[in-house]
Amino acid sequence: MDWLILIAAGVMEAVWATALAASRGFRRPVATIVFVVGLALSMWGLAHAMLTIEVGTAYAVWVGIGAVLTVLVAIVRGDERLTVARALLLVGLVGSVVGLKVVS
């Protein structure tokens, strides 16, 4: 169950990171509210998962999920380009996150 909470917290990291950019310096109220709620849920999930998952592993998985999803959202929205190099690096990042789960 803690792994599912950690994954959800990683997803919420992508939500708050995307909302932070969309808030345009906290000038857009809806995006700012999504940022604050997403940040709170993400931090709670990470803290909860760290009760049973090693700190280094939990943090790396949380960051990895958030980073990959944030980049994918930016690509889908057309804010960033997907290149072969970026795709390979994202696959490597996902592989590293999965590897941490497997060895922990």
Per-residue pLDDT of the chain (104 residues; tens, 9 = 90+): 999 999 999 999 999 999 999 999 999 999 999 999 999 999 999 999 999 999 999 999 999 999 999 999 999 999 999 999 999 999 999 999 888 878 87
pTM for this structure? 0.90
Q: What is the pLDDT of residue 104?
A: 73
Helix-strand-coil percent breakdown of the chain, rounded to 5?
80, 0, 20
Q: What is the pLDDT of residue 44?
A: 98
Task: For residues 4 and 102, give the distance between their C-alpha atoms in angstroms, rounded to a whole number.
Answer: 15
Q: What is the pLDDT of residue 21?
A: 96
